[in-house]
Amino acid sequence: MARRPLPRILSNGSAQIARSRELARTAADSATDVLHPLITIARGLRRLASAGRRRVAETPKDKRGPLLFMVASAILVVALMPYGPLLAAVTLMAAAAWHGRDRTPPEPDGPDETQTQRLQSLHEALVPYFSKAEDPAPLYAHGGDWEKTFPSYEFDDTGRLTHLVIRYPAYFTDGEAAARGRIEKLLTAKSGRGREYHFGWDEEGNQVTVTTLPPLPTDTAAQRFVTAPGETVLGFTDPTEIQRTLPLSYGEEQRDVPPVVWRTGIRSTEPHLLAVGQPGSGTSTLLRSIALQALQHGDVLVVEGGGTGEYACLTGRDGVLAVECGLAGALASLEWAAHETERRLIAANRARQEGHPPPEDTRRPLWILLDRPSAFTHLAAADDRTDPQALLQVPLRHGRAAHVTVVVAEQFDAMDTLSDAVLQHTRARAVLGPVTAQQVEAVLGAPPHTTPAGQVPPGRGYARLGVGPVHRLQVPATPDPYDDATSDAHRQAVLALLPLRSTPADAQPQQQEQLPLQEQEPERVPSESLPAKAVVVEQA
């Protein structure tokens, strides 16, 4: 049976709408050009009328009568003169046209002297990189014309470059990362340090576009994000990189911000995450943000190797299986997680063989969050015990099919202690803190398209999901609510997202904790074997 063609309004409706908009825009521009003299005269009459009202208002009341008499006399004389009304009308229109003219100063056609000098110096600096001795007609030469090499440019109010398009000769090796890196380093130094630049290389057109990136907002507090189950917001990035936006609340204001969304679950290609950074870079903040989002639909197991107690706010909460700070508790928790992964796989396989859907307890997501596992590696080697990272092989290898997700946060100085299983199966990566382009490439597998800044706020870095592009990243502010240095607004935002504390069946449910902090001390429970919904806390 032949398919009927779509109606014309559905097949090319978008083209007709675009054409209609273009026609309407053209008609509006034409009408503006035709009516421009009338618009100018009307604007001038309005300004003259306003000036007359101000003059009458400024005149004292005892002098308004004589003033009106003089005006009436002048009008009468003009009316009695030959061609008087016509001359008065012409004079009035001329005055209105003069007062109604556009008084905004015209924009300069080209750069000023300082901007020209800056562009010429940049052209001279690129000569050694974009010229060869055997080139008969070099595009770059000392004392050459910079207008041929910089077809487009923009400056800010301070005279610094914000946008620049650079043409380069076809024989430049733009396919080599080292050659592009030298040009990017030079442009960063000449355009102004302390800012981040995005470099867009067009190999086909032999052009590179340099754009100054605005700083990412750091005032995004922890909140409920509008995401589907299985989606986790790692942070926020530039609007030019992501087409999707999320509505966020900034006090009473609401803005749409592009997020970096990490998708987990059975169909995810990047089921596990590795976050690397310097001390104080925000890796713990990222793990807390992920934990608060994961508790909406799953269970969380936290293993902290730093022993700083930054996850004490999660202790005893609904959905938090354990918060471990010691080696024995970490081994027990991760061993239980490995057995739980195997149990889920076996139960799901049996259900499929019998023709039934997987059991509900095997489909509930389980999140394993490890902060600085290298600390346990040294302790395990000293006590001749099993390395906790060895227990991660089963969750890492089979976690996607069992709805188990592993998130590891480590510092740069301990990257060599991470096991091969962690490095191999964590395809989603994040780098936080002040880093170099070489460090970003070593962790993410690809260099960033921007120049890393020397000083960045906590939670600022880069992220890459699998083989995708490298995005700038700003983690939402999710501090430890028990820290005295935390602001009250951020503390209340985190406490509002925490689930209620777990209580025995015969006890009354507790209400959501608020300040003061001394009333929020977590309960201590002895470490035992981990059944589901257990809470274990062990001091290092």
Instruction: List pLDDT tens digits, range 441-489.
Output: 999 998 888 888 778 888 999 999 999 999 999 999 999 999 888 889 8
Average pLDDT on 341-355 reads 93
What is the spatial distance between Cα 539 and Cα 135, in angstroms, rounded to a whole number?
71
Residues 6+ apart with CB under 8 A from 473: 216, 234, 235, 236, 237, 260, 430, 432, 459, 460, 461, 462, 463
Q: pLDDT > 90: what percent of the chain?
A: 40
What is the spatial distance between Cα 134 and Cα 137, in angstroms, rounded to a whole number?
9
240 versus 201: which is more confidently predicted?
201
Residue 514 in this model has a pLDDT that exceeds 70? no
Residue 261 confidence (pLDDT)? 94
| 438, 431 contact by CB (below 8 A) | no
H/E segment holding residue 431 = strand 428-432
Domain range summary for the chain, segments of one domain joined by + = 113-212, 231-496
Residue 513 confidence (pLDDT)? 45
Residue 518 in this model has a pLDDT that exceeds 70? no
Residue 5 confidence (pLDDT)? 52
Residue 306 confidence (pLDDT)? 83
What is the spatial distance between Cα 301 and Cα 320, in angstroms, rounded to a whole number?
6
For the ranges 74-83, 213-222, 476-485, which has the lowest average pLDDT? 74-83
From residue 237, how far is each of 178, 213, 273, 288 by CA, in Å?
26, 11, 18, 19
Average pLDDT on 34-52 reads 80
Buried b (16+ CB within 10 A) or exposed e, 343-376: ebbeebeeeeeeeeebeeebeebbbbbbbbbbbb
Residue 157 in this model has a pLDDT that exceeds 60? yes
Residue 497 confidence (pLDDT)? 93
Residue with tokens 């990257």: 415
Residue 520 in this model has a pLDDT that exceeds 70? no
What is the spatial distance between Cα 200 and Cα 210, in angstroms, rounded to a whole number?
7
At the top level of CATH, the class of 231-496 is alpha beta
Alpha carbons within 13 A on the beta-carbon side of 129: 20
pLDDT class for 77, splitting at 50, 70, 90? confident
Residue 525 confidence (pLDDT)? 38
Residue 267 in this model has a pLDDT that exceeds 90? no
Instruction: List pLDDT tens digits, range 87-132.
Output: 888 888 888 788 777 666 555 556 778 888 888 999 999 999 998 8
Please, what is the average pLDDT of the chain?
A: 83
Question: How many residues would you count in the chain?
Answer: 540
Q: Is the pTM of this model over 0.85?
A: no
Residue 527 confidence (pLDDT)? 38
523 versus 100: which is more confidently predicted?
100
Instruction: List pLDDT tens digits, range 286-311.
Output: 999 999 999 999 999 999 988 888 89
| 367, 373 contact by CB (below 8 A) | no
pLDDT class for 16, splitting at 50, 70, 90? low
| 180, 199 contact by CB (below 8 A) | yes
H/E segment holding residue 473 = strand 471-474
What is the spatial distance between Cα 166 and Cα 18, in angstroms, rounded to a whole number?
32
Residue 14 confidence (pLDDT)? 55
Strand pairing report for 207-213 and 273-277 = unpaired
361 versus 71: which is more confidently predicted?
361
Average pLDDT on 379-389 reads 89
